[in-house]
Amino acid sequence: MKRAAPAWWTSPRPLWIIVALFAWLLATAWMRPLMAPDEGRYGGVALAMLRSGDWLVPRLDGLPFFHKPPLFYWIGAAAMSVTGPVEWAARLPSVLGGAVAAAALFLFLRRWSTARLAVLSTVVLATTPFFFLGAQFANLDMLVAGCISATVLLAAGAALAREREEPWRALLAGAWLFAAAGLLAKGLIGLVLPAMVIVIWCAATRRLASLRLALWLPGWAVLLAVAGPWFVAMQLRYPEFFDYFVVTQHFRRFASSGFNNEHGFWFYLPVLAGLTLPWFAWVFVPRGSNEGTSDDAARPRLPDIDRLMWIWLAVIVVFFSLPRSKLVGYVLPALPPLAYLIAQRVLASRSLEALLPKVRAMTLAAATVCIGCVVAVMVYSSPPGTRLRLPAGQAVAPGEQVLMLDGYHYEIPFYWDLREPVLVADDWKAAAEDTRDNWRKEIFDASRFDPARAARTLVDRTELADVLCVPHATWVVGSNTAHLANPWLHHAQLVAVNDGLAAWRFKGSATGDPHCLDTAPFPAAVPAPAPHSGANGNG
């Protein structure tokens, strides 16, 4: 008698599933322009790294930018070295982070849980709108989420394998490697959060002997060899690096108020509930009597896996709920364990076999929701400047310069494919006292690491004539009403206008006349408009 083919959930092929995950996340990464400020900032820094040829120092407008480590920029710059400045290359680090998180979850559960639970958990994760859109957004949150997920699952897998006297050293070395990648992706959380999860899990499951794996010297060698050189190089080159990167960007940001996006302790509960629909609705479905039974349920350690996932979820949510400053993307590392717990609830529901067609329908519905979210983002009216591009056939020629008035627009260097830093005109004396987390503070902080370059690129408003009355053209970017406060713009060529932002081409002065900005007064002149704040979502 011919044996029936195994069901789709009992014979997953890891390579094809991982390839499908990556293709699913990458398929729509090109569909919309970069959003300001975050995507423009991180994509622009990656492009600047490529253009400068300096792959060690991340730079914002040519100035050392140490808000975050360089892994995101390395990946983005490497992709753009092949493709040029295109959106999907700028988002590739996030796509890779999402693919790593989902693949690690699948492979771990396939080995230590059941094939059915491994596939369904991965489907839930990959089709959750929060996860899918996080992988479509060019910032550091999904990349570090992938590193954290891989570190936790490889370390847990190493502990389980060691107990069963199976090969475990390669798994543990992989955990240390991804911990190093997490350090290079977003700093200390890439190491601290996985360590907290594993330590608490080992204590809760009485695996205290497994904690000795934290002292495994080859692992520390991997960590130091991969992550150490960049941090050492930056400290040697910039003596203030440690204080700024570690003390300010980690501990002061965590413990202090005054940064943007302050929310209450409860903030991430509705975020997780709302952004994981429709899958989150399964939390309210009654459990059945078939929990823990499946075609291969004989594999042990399901209670320990449950504890791992609950501890992982709790550590991430509680840790990021403590500081006052909260961004939605911070909690992305909590999605893999949440996907597991939801999938487990699906499989534990009453009349499982009758529910399987509904599971497939919900998978299709979740995918539809994801595509709908992407379409909604595409038509969303982004902050000014997101789509300001030069008309076809026009470009900044070699020897010409770009000046931004009263605001730095992160996406302009990316979309204009600029090869040199731009000039930024502002009241930089007042900026020294600005404590708000915005574009001005970012650039001013960066200027402290390279004062000589900052003196050439940061222009005080009173010095505009010195940089504009030169024998070559200057492309000026500012508010579309900037000509009212700067009458000399009436003598410039208006090149592009979009959503409150405009670009002009000012010819300058062939003779270097320092009075080239002098014009007859215009009766319509009004006070300068409020500067574009570039409301910072810095993560």
3-state class of 330 per DSSP? Answer: helix
d(CA 497, CA 494): 8
Asked if 372 contacts 355 with a C-beta cutoff of 8 angstroms, the reply is: no
d(CA 478, CA 412): 11
Tokens representing 358 are 């509904």
Tokens representing 325 are 């400053």
C-alpha dist (Å) from residue 369 to 278, 444, 478, 488, 512: 9, 41, 37, 50, 58
* Sign of the dihedral through C-alpha 430, 431, 434, 438: positive
Q: Cα 215–218–224 angle (5° rounding)?
A: 90
Among 46, 47, 43, smallest CA distance to 30 is for 43
d(CA 54, CA 99): 28
d(CA 504, CA 400): 13
One digit per residue, the tens of pLDDT, for the chain of length 539 reads: 344 434 333 445 777 888 888 888 888 888 888 887 889 999 999 999 999 999 999 999 999 999 999 999 999 999 999 999 999 999 999 999 999 999 999 999 999 988 889 988 998 999 888 999 899 999 999 999 999 999 999 999 999 999 998 999 999 999 999 999 999 999 999 999 999 999 999 999 988 888 888 889 999 999 999 999 999 999 999 999 998 888 877 766 655 655 556 777 788 898 999 888 888 887 776 665 444 444 443 344 468 999 999 999 999 999 999 887 778 889 999 999 999 999 888 877 655 555 556 556 655 665 566 566 556 555 544 444 456 888 888 899 999 999 999 889 999 999 999 999 999 999 888 766 766 778 888 999 999 999 999 999 999 988 898 999 999 999 999 998 888 888 889 889 999 998 788 999 999 888 888 888 876 444 443 344 444 434 444 55
d(CA 261, CA 437): 10
Cβ contacts of 355 within 8 Å, gap of 6 or more: 346, 349
Give 523: exposed, middle or buried? Use CB within 10 Å, 0-12, 13-18, 19+: exposed
Count the Cβ atoms, other than its own, within 10 Å of residue 531: 17
Tokens representing 281 are 């609705």
pLDDT for the residue 294: 42
Tokens representing 128 are 């959750």
C-alpha dist (Å) from residue 35 to 260, 416, 466, 507: 18, 15, 33, 30
Instruction: Write the secondary structure of 169-235 as one string of H (helix), E (strand) and C (coil).
Output: HHHHHHHHHHHHHHHHHHCCHHHHHHHHHHHHHHHHCCCHHHHHHHHCHHHHHHHHHHHHHHHHHHH
Tokens representing 45 are 């820094």
The HSE-up count of residue 351 (CA atoms within 13 Å, CB side) is 5
Residue type, 500: G
Cβ contacts of 372 within 8 Å, gap of 6 or more: none
Tokens representing 496 are 């592009």
d(CA 280, CA 245): 37
Asked if 370 contacts 133 with a C-beta cutoff of 8 angstroms, the reply is: yes
Give 518: exposed, middle or buried? Use CB within 10 Å, 0-12, 13-18, 19+: exposed
Structure letter (DSSP) for residue 367 = H
Count the Cβ atoms, other than its own, within 10 Å of residue 80: 21
d(CA 197, CA 192): 9
Start-to-end CA span in the chain (Å): 60
d(CA 393, CA 495): 12
